[in-house]
Amino acid sequence: MSGKIKITPFKKVLIANRGEIALRVIRTLKEMGIASVAVYAEADRNSLHVRMADEAVCIGASPSALSYLNIDAIVTAAKITGADAVHPGYGFLSENADFARAVTKAGMTFIGPTADAISMLGVKSTAREIALKAGVAVTPGSNGIVGKNYREVARKIGFPIMIKATLGGGGKGMRACLSEADLDRMLKTAQGEAKANFGDDRVYFEKLVLNPRHIEVQVAADNYGNVVAFAERDCSMQRRHQKLVEESPSPFVDEATRAKLQEAACKVVKTARYRGVGTVEFLMAPTKEFYFMEVNTRLQVEHPVTEEVCGQDLVKMQIQIAQGCPLSISQKEAAVVRCHAIEHRINAEDSEHNFAPNPGTIEEWIPSGGLGVRIDSHMYTGYTIPTYYDSLIAKLIVTAPDRERLLARSRRCLSEFVVSGVKTTIPFHQKIVQNPDFIAGNMDTGLIERMMHTEKENSESKK
C-alpha cells in the first residue's frame, strides 16, 4: 500500500438515478448510517425509491433528457440538499465524464472513478490500447478509429469482423459484417445508429470471434494501488447484445482459466490507474482463449450475482473507496466462490411479439420467495410503469450450492413469480432454464437467437 490514508466520511449522498438501482443504493446507505437524497422525474413521483429516501427532489419533466440526463438540475439538487457525494447508479450519467467533473467542481465527491478515467476507458479504442500496454490479449482489430482506409483495414483484419461504435454501449452501433460485400451497408448502419444514440458516428473494427462467450470480471480498486478481482460472470445469454441472464461462476471456466481472467482484469485496472468498482469484459473462444473487450466504469446491472458469490456489498465498497478507505479484502478473499448464482432480468416486454415494451399498471405483484432467493425491484401492486425509461422491472437472483440445484431453484422461482397487468419476460426465462444447451452449460452469445429461430420454425410448421 502506498500513499497517505485520508478518510472523509459522508453524511448525505444523492443518488442520480431512478427505480431499482436507486433503491438498491438507498438500502446500503441506510445500513451505513448515511442519509439519502432521491431525485425523480415527474413520471416517477410515486416510485418506491422516492418513498424510501430520506429526502426527494423533483428534477424535471418525464423525458430523460429533461431530468435524469440533466446535469445542472442534478448538481443543483445535490447542492440545495447539502449532499457530500453523488452516486450515479448505472445507465443515464453513470459513465459521463462531464457529470463527474461537474459534481467534483461543485465541491462534492463523485462515487466512482475519476472523470479522466471515465473519458479514457469510455473510448473503446483507447481502452484497447490500455489493454495492449498491460499485456492483455485483445481481438485483432483496427486499434483505433477507422477512417477513409476502412476497406483496407477490414481486409487486413480478415472477415468476419465486428463494427463497433467508439462511444456508448448496450449493443447500440454494433454490426457483424460477414463479408466484404456487406461492408459498406453495415458500416453505414452502425455509424447511423452510433450518431443517433451517442452523438458520435466514429467506429472501430474487431475480428469477429465465432460462437464466443461473454465473460466479465468484477474488480475493485482503492486510492492506494490495491486491486482485487472477483469470480467471473457468464453473460452469454443475450438478445441483440442485451443481457437477459447472468450467472457466476461460469460453467465453462475452470480454476486455472479463472485465475488468468482475474490476473488480466487486474493488469488492465492497474495500467489505467483506475479507482472504484468496475467491470472488465472479455470475449472467450471455445478454446478458452479470451480477449479484452472493454471496461465498464460503473456498477453493472448484474452486480448482485457477484455479491451473492463473494459475500460482499459492492455498493458499500464503492462508497468506502470514495470516502478514501483502503480495500478491506485481499485477492485471496475476493476470489472465494461461496455458491452458484444466477440473475434473471425481468422486463416489462412481450417476448411473444419481438420483446415489444409493455408498460402499464401492475395489477398483481407476488414475487418469488424462499431459500436462496433475492428480488431487486421497485415494483408494487398498483404501480404504473412509465413509458419513458428502461423496461427492467425486477432482477430475480437465485443462489444454490451447485449449478444443478441452482437451475432447479430457478425453475421453481420463475413458476411462482406472479405479475399481472403487464406482459413480462418471465415465460421466456422459463424456456431458457428448460433449454438442453443451457442446462448443459453449452451457451454462447448466439444461443438465445437460435432458441427463438427454432421456436419460430416449430410454430410455423404447426400452422
User: Which are the catalytic amino acids?
Assistant: 298
Cβ atoms of 103 and 93 within 8 Å: the answer is no
The whole-angstrom separation of Cα 271 and Cα 433 is 39
Query: In the numeric block, which cell numbers belong to residue 409?
Result: 431453484
> Do 258 and 338 touch, CB atoms closer than 8 A?
no
Whether residue 38 contacts residue 26, with contact meaning beta carbons closer than 8 Å, is answered with yes
- Contact criterion met (CB below 8 Å) for 205 and 162: yes
- Distance in angstroms (rounded) separating the CA atoms of residues 399 and 374: 8
Task: Tell me, letter by letter, the H, E, C secondary structure of the chain.
Answer: CCCCCCCCCCCEEEECCCHHHHHHHHHHHHHHCCEEEEEEEHHHCCCHHHHHCCEEEEEECCCHHHCCCCHHHHHHHHHHHCCCEEECCCCCCCCCHHHHHHHHHCCCEECCCCHHHHHHHHCHHHHHHHHHHCCCCECCECCCCCCCCHHHHHHHHCCCEEEEECCCCCCCCEEEECCHHHHHHHHHHHHHHHHHHHCCCCEEEEECCCCCEEEEEEEEECCCCCEEECCCEEEEEEECCEEEEEEECCCCCCHHHHHHHHHHHHHHHHHCCCCEEEEEEEEECCCCCEEEEEEECCCCCCHHHHHHHHCCCHHHHHHHHHHCCCCCCCHHHHCCCCCEEEEEEEECEECCCCCEECCCECCEEECCCCCCEEEEECCCCCCECCCCCCCEEEEEEEEECCHHHHHHHHHHHHHHCEEECCCCCHHHHHHHCCCHHHHCCCCCCCHHHHHHHHHHHHHHHCC
How many other C-beta atoms are found inside a 10 Å radius of the C-beta of residue 416? Answer: 12
Q: What is the largest CA-CA distance in the chain?
A: 72
